[in-house]
Amino acid sequence: MKNSSDEIYFNKIACLNENFKVFDEKIKKILQENSTLLDTHFEKYLSCTSSKRIRSALIFLTSLTLFGKVTEKAYKAALAVELLHNASLIHDDIIDCASIRRENPSLNAVFSDKLAVIAGDFLFSLAFKLIVENNSSDCVLSYIETFKKLCLGEIEQYFKKNQIPTMEEYIEKSANKTASLFKIGIESAFRGEVNDSELKKLEEFALNFGIAFQLNNDLKNILNGAKDFNDGIYTAAIIYANEKDKNILQAQNLIAALEKTGAINAVKELISRYVKTSVDNLSFLGDNDYKFTLISICKYPEEF
């Protein structure tokens, strides 16, 4: 069931409804062309209405801002990014022993960890096929580098559990694990479609937005059960609080301790700085309704 912030977000991107219908048809076609006994499950997983598809939404809105339409290259870039993202979620559910994904049983719960691993790998293969078809060799190499960073981020997180990182280490991990996928989606959609200076600004927009996105997710995680904290994964609020209270990990009331140190407000301010930078990165774009929608999404991270 969607909450009020979800409803606000989906209302904002209502202008993309037709584009996402096209997107869903393209997903179905890809699955039909690469048919497996899991097609029904894949289709449900990839087109689940509770998925915000924020990465694709940014690609579509940027394409509409620039060209007045979603280009075929932008569609392929969005498809590749969503396939990569969802493949990583399937693997995350295995790692986390999660039984629910988007209010539905996870693939590992329906079948087995073994089959879910193969299912995730299969989606990765479909994504990389699209990437090769859609991009130059330089962009393909960027995708490979992004995928490497995603994996290294997970490996690093595993081995650094129960350790409080520095803020620089945390931001770097957030850039590698999350923001890099936003960035490569934008790069693959618009490389060769805009000049190098404009592409760099778009990439910086995606990177800064992606970091704000992860900061916001981590803050919500802390405020809504603190699962990551309980698993020994310490994010921005804990890093800030630890500077004021070296006993933060032993706090009896974590939220109260974070509020006392000012950590929650500090994280919100950090999110605001990254959001502002991401919006500033878009200043070169001409003004139109799609750009205003793009900026509106960026400015209200609680709706992510």
pLDDT given at position 249: 97
pLDDT given at position 49: 56
pLDDT tens across 19-52, in order? 999 999 999 999 989 988 888 888 877 865 557 8
Considering the segment(s) 167-285 as one domain, its CATH architecture is Orthogonal Bundle (1.10)
Distance (Å, whole) CA 211 – CA 256: 26
Distance (Å, whole) CA 94 – CA 4: 30
For residues 149-164, give the mean pLDDT.
89
pLDDT classification of 303: cutoffs 50, 70, 90: low
The per-type count for the chain, helices as H runs and strands as E runs, is 16, 2
CA angle 252, 256, 261 (to 5 degrees): 110
CB 59 within 8 A of CB 193: no
**3-state secondary structure at position 191:** strand
pLDDT given at position 270: 97
Does 167-285 match 1-134 at the fold level?
A: yes
pLDDT classification of 7: cutoffs 50, 70, 90: confident
pLDDT given at position 48: 55
79 φ, ψ to 5°? Answer: -60, -45
- Fold of the CATH domain 1-134: Farnesyl Diphosphate Synthase (1.10.600)
101 φ, ψ to 5°? Answer: -140, 120
pLDDT given at position 212: 96
pLDDT tens across 233-273, in order? 999 999 999 999 999 999 999 999 999 999 999 999 999 99
pLDDT given at position 79: 95
pLDDT given at position 25: 93
pLDDT tens across 53-92, in order? 999 999 999 999 999 999 999 999 999 999 999 999 999 9
Closest among 296, 300, 302 to 13, alpha carbons compared: 296
Domain boundaries, the chain: 1-134, 167-285
Burial track 203-220 (b if 16+ CB lie within 10 A, e otherwise): bbbbbbbbbbbbbbbbbe
Closest among 102, 3, 19, 7 to 58, alpha carbons compared: 19
pLDDT tens across 182-228, in order? 999 999 999 999 999 999 999 999 999 999 999 999 999 999 999 99
Statement: residue 17 has pLDDT above 70: yes
Q: What is the pTM of this model?
A: 0.93
Distance (Å, whole) CA 125 – CA 121: 6
pLDDT tens across 138-156, in order? 788 888 898 898 888 888 8
pLDDT given at position 277: 97
pLDDT classification of 164: cutoffs 50, 70, 90: very high
Torsion (CA) 125, 52, 24, 78 in degrees, nearest 10: -50
For residues 163-174, give the mean pLDDT.
96
